[in-house]
A = this chain, B = another copy of it.
Amino acid sequence: MSTFSIGIDLGGTNLRVAAFTSDWKRRGAITTPTRVKDGPGAVLDDMCAAVQQLIADCGESGELAGVGLGSPGPLELPAGRLLQPPNLPGFEDLELKTELEKRLRVPVVVECDANAAALAECHAGAGKKSGYQSLCMLTLGTGVGSGIILNGRVWHGFSGMGGEAGHVPVYHDGLLCGCGSRGCLEQYASATAIARAGQNLFGTRSQNGAGKITARSIAEAAQAGDAESQHIYDGVGQALGIGLASLVSTLNLPLYIIGGGVVAAWQLFAPSMFAELDRGSYIYRLTRPADVAVPEAGKTNVFPAELGPDAGLLGAAMLPFFQSLNS
């Protein structure tokens, strides 16, 4: 009998649950709004109802290999305990793993959502495509998430906070971050940071007057030839290049992946990102591929993500199959 697994992607807005075969084909999916205001009990109930429904739908054609959950951080791992998640008020100290296992009576693997997305890119996305099993993925969204995969497995560190590269300091004493530090990569390369930079330049309305200014509206203006909007994305690329220089010098991985909504603007930020990385890391200069767009063995490759916004959901379903690395 074939096996299947179930992934849960707990977002601040939507709760997505899906079943996948062991070769990562989707068998069924349930999406509901995340009832944050109704509290952790309601959200746990919604998760369990969706999981039970998918087990009922898929159980005849296969055996359940396990359930994985990708959650916003910070989390204590592998215990699977939420700490103080900024996007899930009221969910502080929630024992996600314990509570789900109590309700579902099956083993549940909990992981940071950015780590789950990195795992999916490794085994079914940019990593699989280019043949690498070790990578670091930066997810540029509301914040900058990041995950490190070493030899096909998530690197946790000692308390589950490995790969928080969104909080690598890129400009000493730079912009104040929500984490309380200054100059974190997240303050220069997230969609939030890009929108803020645009609002500082143009006010809150988008350049074409059609709505609120966003990372996307600024990208559209840059693509249409607006120099100031392009300048904002040059800054995104520079910050990413500094952050990547730090990661390349520390980790010497063969693959770095940029994902999240902002990656749609790859053409706008990639030139300054590669220029800064080249300036900032002699290891990158020693291992620079001949063509940055083509994977090259023995070189440091930087690519856009392949899987889009479903990476975290698929990665959650992969968790039962790939034990994490802890220190």
Contact = CB atoms under 8 A, between A and B. Distances in A.
Interface residues of A, number: 50
A83 B282 CA distance: 13
A287 interface: yes
Nearest to A151: B327
A41 to B, nearest CB: 26
Interface string A136-151: 0000000000001011
A161 to B, nearest CB: 4
Contacts of A283: 74, 161, 164, 167
Contacts of A223: none
A282 B327 contact: no
B159 A282 contact: no
A252 B156 contact: yes
A157 B282 contact: no
A236 to B, nearest CB: 15
Contacts of A170: 169, 172
Nearest to A183: B280
Which 4 residue pairs are nearest across A and B when measured between Cβ atoms?
A157-B252, A134-B327, A179-B282, A162-B252
14 contacts: A133-B327, A157-B251, A157-B253, A158-B252, A161-B287, A162-B250, A162-B252, A168-B245, A168-B249, A171-B172, A181-B245, A181-B282, A182-B280, A247-B250
